[in-house]
Amino acid sequence: MCENCGCDNKGIPLLGDPFPEMKVLTTDGEIILPDHFKGKWFVLFSHPGDFTPVCTTEFVAFQKRIEKFKELNCELIGLSVDQVFSHIKWTEWIKEKLGVEITFPIIADTGMVSSKLGLIHPGKGTNTVRAVFVVDDKSVIRIILYYPQELGRNIDEIIRIVKGMQISDKNGVAMPANWPDNELIKDEVIIPPAKTVNVAKERLEKAKAGEFKCFDWWLCHKKLK
Protein backbone atom coordinates (compact mmCIF):
# COMPACT_ATOMS: atom_id res chain seq x y z
CA MET A 1 0.00 0.00 0.00
CA CYS A 2 1.10 3.57 -0.58
CA GLU A 3 1.74 4.79 2.98
CA ASN A 4 0.17 8.22 2.55
CA CYS A 5 -2.34 7.94 -0.29
CA GLY A 6 -3.95 4.66 0.84
CA CYS A 7 -3.88 3.02 -2.58
CA ASP A 8 -2.21 -0.02 -4.10
CA ASN A 9 1.18 0.72 -5.65
CA LYS A 10 1.95 -1.65 -8.48
CA GLY A 11 5.04 0.21 -9.60
CA ILE A 12 5.97 1.69 -12.93
CA PRO A 13 4.63 -0.10 -16.04
CA LEU A 14 7.22 -1.59 -18.36
CA LEU A 15 8.28 -0.23 -21.72
CA GLY A 16 6.08 -1.78 -24.38
CA ASP A 17 3.09 -2.10 -22.05
CA PRO A 18 -0.22 -0.52 -23.03
CA PHE A 19 -0.87 2.67 -21.11
CA PRO A 20 -3.34 1.71 -18.37
CA GLU A 21 -6.92 2.87 -18.90
CA MET A 22 -8.05 5.43 -16.34
CA LYS A 23 -10.65 8.17 -15.89
CA VAL A 24 -9.02 11.38 -14.69
CA LEU A 25 -10.17 14.84 -13.63
CA THR A 26 -8.28 17.62 -15.37
CA THR A 27 -8.39 21.36 -15.91
CA ASP A 28 -10.25 20.53 -19.15
CA GLY A 29 -12.80 18.38 -17.33
CA GLU A 30 -13.05 14.61 -16.97
CA ILE A 31 -11.24 12.58 -19.63
CA ILE A 32 -10.42 8.92 -20.19
CA LEU A 33 -6.82 7.94 -20.88
CA PRO A 34 -5.43 6.82 -23.23
CA ASP A 35 -8.59 7.06 -25.41
CA HIS A 36 -8.62 10.86 -25.18
CA PHE A 37 -5.49 10.92 -27.34
CA LYS A 38 -6.46 8.07 -29.65
CA GLY A 39 -4.39 8.12 -32.85
CA LYS A 40 -1.90 10.57 -31.34
CA TRP A 41 1.29 10.38 -29.35
CA PHE A 42 1.16 12.00 -25.95
CA VAL A 43 3.55 12.97 -23.20
CA LEU A 44 2.24 12.64 -19.65
CA PHE A 45 4.52 14.38 -17.18
CA SER A 46 4.13 14.64 -13.42
CA HIS A 47 5.44 17.46 -11.25
CA PRO A 48 5.90 17.60 -7.47
CA GLY A 49 3.49 20.47 -6.85
CA ASP A 50 1.83 23.67 -8.03
CA PHE A 51 3.29 27.03 -7.02
CA THR A 52 6.81 25.62 -6.86
CA PRO A 53 9.75 27.25 -8.68
CA VAL A 54 11.25 24.40 -10.73
CA CYS A 55 7.82 23.14 -11.81
CA THR A 56 6.85 26.64 -12.90
CA THR A 57 9.91 26.88 -15.16
CA GLU A 58 9.07 23.46 -16.63
CA PHE A 59 5.47 24.38 -17.43
CA VAL A 60 6.58 27.55 -19.17
CA ALA A 61 9.15 25.55 -21.15
CA PHE A 62 6.61 22.90 -22.17
CA GLN A 63 4.09 25.53 -23.26
CA LYS A 64 6.64 27.51 -25.29
CA ARG A 65 7.40 24.33 -27.26
CA ILE A 66 3.85 23.02 -27.60
CA GLU A 67 3.73 23.68 -31.35
CA LYS A 68 6.84 21.53 -31.83
CA PHE A 69 5.04 18.68 -30.06
CA LYS A 70 1.91 19.21 -32.17
CA GLU A 71 4.00 19.06 -35.34
CA LEU A 72 4.90 15.52 -34.22
CA ASN A 73 1.21 14.63 -33.68
CA CYS A 74 1.96 14.68 -29.95
CA GLU A 75 -0.11 16.17 -27.12
CA LEU A 76 0.87 17.16 -23.58
CA ILE A 77 -0.82 16.45 -20.26
CA GLY A 78 0.52 17.36 -16.83
CA LEU A 79 -0.17 15.83 -13.42
CA SER A 80 0.34 16.39 -9.71
CA VAL A 81 -1.43 15.54 -6.47
CA ASP A 82 -3.10 18.95 -6.31
CA GLN A 83 -6.75 19.87 -6.68
CA VAL A 84 -8.15 21.37 -9.87
CA PHE A 85 -8.64 24.80 -8.28
CA SER A 86 -4.92 24.83 -7.38
CA HIS A 87 -3.97 24.01 -10.99
CA ILE A 88 -6.27 26.78 -12.22
CA LYS A 89 -4.94 29.41 -9.81
CA TRP A 90 -1.35 28.44 -10.59
CA THR A 91 -1.82 28.64 -14.36
CA GLU A 92 -3.62 31.98 -13.90
CA TRP A 93 -0.58 33.22 -11.97
CA ILE A 94 1.75 32.00 -14.73
CA LYS A 95 -0.30 33.87 -17.33
CA GLU A 96 -0.54 37.06 -15.25
CA LYS A 97 3.03 37.21 -13.98
CA LEU A 98 4.99 35.49 -16.74
CA GLY A 99 2.82 36.14 -19.79
CA VAL A 100 2.47 32.47 -20.73
CA GLU A 101 -0.95 30.81 -21.06
CA ILE A 102 -0.90 27.07 -20.29
CA THR A 103 -3.15 25.42 -22.87
CA PHE A 104 -2.65 21.71 -22.16
CA PRO A 105 -4.71 19.87 -19.51
CA ILE A 106 -3.38 19.10 -16.02
CA ILE A 107 -4.58 16.08 -14.06
CA ALA A 108 -5.75 16.65 -10.49
CA ASP A 109 -4.63 13.31 -9.07
CA THR A 110 -6.16 11.85 -5.92
CA GLY A 111 -3.36 9.28 -5.75
CA MET A 112 -5.01 6.79 -8.13
CA VAL A 113 -2.95 7.75 -11.19
CA SER A 114 0.27 8.04 -9.21
CA SER A 115 -0.36 4.60 -7.75
CA LYS A 116 -0.86 3.00 -11.14
CA LEU A 117 2.20 4.65 -12.64
CA GLY A 118 4.47 4.55 -9.58
CA LEU A 119 4.89 8.31 -9.28
CA ILE A 120 4.92 8.93 -5.53
CA HIS A 121 8.35 10.08 -4.43
CA PRO A 122 9.74 7.82 -1.68
CA GLY A 123 10.30 9.77 1.51
CA LYS A 124 8.57 12.89 0.16
CA GLY A 125 5.04 12.34 1.45
CA THR A 126 2.43 12.41 -1.32
CA ASN A 127 4.52 14.53 -3.71
CA THR A 128 4.93 13.11 -7.19
CA VAL A 129 8.33 12.74 -8.84
CA ARG A 130 9.24 14.38 -12.14
CA ALA A 131 8.28 11.46 -14.35
CA VAL A 132 7.72 11.48 -18.11
CA PHE A 133 5.73 8.85 -20.02
CA VAL A 134 5.97 9.00 -23.81
CA VAL A 135 3.05 7.07 -25.29
CA ASP A 136 2.72 6.33 -29.01
CA ASP A 137 -0.30 6.57 -31.30
CA LYS A 138 -1.21 2.97 -30.48
CA SER A 139 -1.34 3.79 -26.75
CA VAL A 140 1.86 1.87 -26.02
CA ILE A 141 4.39 3.22 -23.50
CA ARG A 142 7.62 3.80 -25.41
CA ILE A 143 9.79 5.87 -23.07
CA ILE A 144 9.84 6.42 -19.29
CA LEU A 145 12.01 9.11 -17.69
CA TYR A 146 12.31 9.52 -13.94
CA TYR A 147 13.82 12.60 -12.26
CA PRO A 148 14.39 13.71 -8.67
CA GLN A 149 12.60 16.80 -7.40
CA GLU A 150 15.80 18.81 -7.53
CA LEU A 151 16.41 18.56 -11.29
CA GLY A 152 14.26 20.25 -13.90
CA ARG A 153 13.69 18.47 -17.19
CA ASN A 154 15.21 19.34 -20.57
CA ILE A 155 12.11 19.77 -22.73
CA ASP A 156 14.11 19.85 -25.97
CA GLU A 157 15.35 16.36 -25.11
CA ILE A 158 11.75 15.14 -24.79
CA ILE A 159 10.99 16.56 -28.25
CA ARG A 160 14.10 14.80 -29.57
CA ILE A 161 12.88 11.56 -28.00
CA VAL A 162 9.46 11.73 -29.66
CA LYS A 163 10.93 12.66 -33.04
CA GLY A 164 13.61 9.98 -32.83
CA MET A 165 11.16 7.22 -31.92
CA GLN A 166 8.83 8.19 -34.75
CA ILE A 167 11.69 8.12 -37.28
CA SER A 168 12.83 4.78 -35.90
CA ASP A 169 9.33 3.31 -36.25
CA LYS A 170 8.86 4.61 -39.77
CA ASN A 171 12.26 3.63 -41.16
CA GLY A 172 13.32 0.61 -39.08
CA VAL A 173 16.52 2.33 -37.94
CA ALA A 174 18.18 3.28 -34.66
CA MET A 175 19.37 6.66 -33.52
CA PRO A 176 23.00 7.23 -32.39
CA ALA A 177 24.06 9.08 -29.26
CA ASN A 178 23.32 12.80 -29.35
CA TRP A 179 21.36 12.39 -32.60
CA PRO A 180 21.05 14.43 -34.79
CA ASP A 181 24.53 15.73 -33.91
CA ASN A 182 26.48 12.54 -33.30
CA GLU A 183 30.26 12.74 -33.00
CA LEU A 184 30.83 9.92 -35.51
CA ILE A 185 28.01 10.05 -38.05
CA LYS A 186 26.43 13.50 -37.54
CA ASP A 187 22.70 13.37 -38.43
CA GLU A 188 22.77 9.93 -40.04
CA VAL A 189 20.95 6.92 -38.57
CA ILE A 190 22.13 3.44 -37.67
CA ILE A 191 21.07 0.34 -39.59
CA PRO A 192 20.16 -2.47 -37.13
CA PRO A 193 22.95 -5.10 -36.82
CA ALA A 194 22.90 -8.13 -39.13
CA LYS A 195 21.42 -11.27 -37.56
CA THR A 196 22.95 -13.87 -39.89
CA VAL A 197 26.32 -14.51 -41.50
CA ASN A 198 24.90 -13.98 -44.98
CA VAL A 199 23.36 -10.65 -44.06
CA ALA A 200 26.66 -9.57 -42.50
CA LYS A 201 28.45 -10.31 -45.79
CA GLU A 202 25.74 -8.51 -47.77
CA ARG A 203 26.16 -5.45 -45.56
CA LEU A 204 29.79 -5.03 -46.56
CA GLU A 205 29.00 -5.58 -50.23
CA LYS A 206 26.24 -2.97 -50.11
CA ALA A 207 28.62 -0.59 -48.37
CA LYS A 208 31.14 -1.07 -51.18
CA ALA A 209 28.37 -0.32 -53.66
CA GLY A 210 27.66 2.92 -51.87
CA GLU A 211 24.18 2.06 -50.52
CA PHE A 212 25.33 3.03 -47.02
CA LYS A 213 28.50 3.31 -44.97
CA CYS A 214 30.01 0.85 -42.48
CA PHE A 215 32.77 0.98 -39.91
CA ASP A 216 32.26 -2.80 -39.89
CA TRP A 217 29.38 -5.15 -40.72
CA TRP A 218 27.82 -4.56 -37.28
CA LEU A 219 28.07 -0.77 -37.36
CA CYS A 220 26.50 0.61 -40.53
CA HIS A 221 24.82 3.95 -41.03
CA LYS A 222 23.07 5.99 -43.67
CA LYS A 223 21.45 9.36 -44.31
CA LEU A 224 17.67 9.41 -44.28
CA LYS A 225 16.16 10.34 -47.61
Angle at the Cα of 71 (from 65 to 73), degrees rounded to 5? 110
Number of Cβ within a 10 Å radius of residue 145: 16
Report, as residue numbers or ranges, the catalytic residues: 55
- Mark 59-97 as b/e (b = at least 16 C-beta within 10 Å): bbbbbeebeebeeeebbbbbbbbbeeebbeebbeebeee
All residues at 6 or more sequence positions from 140 whose CB lies less than 8 Å from its CB, including other chains: 16, 17, 18, 19
- Note whether 50 and 86 are within 8 A (CB): yes
142 labeled binding residue: no
In three-state secondary structure terms, 167 is: helix
CA distance 104 to 46: 13
- Residue numbering of the annotated binding site for substrate: 130
- Residue numbering of the annotated binding site: 130
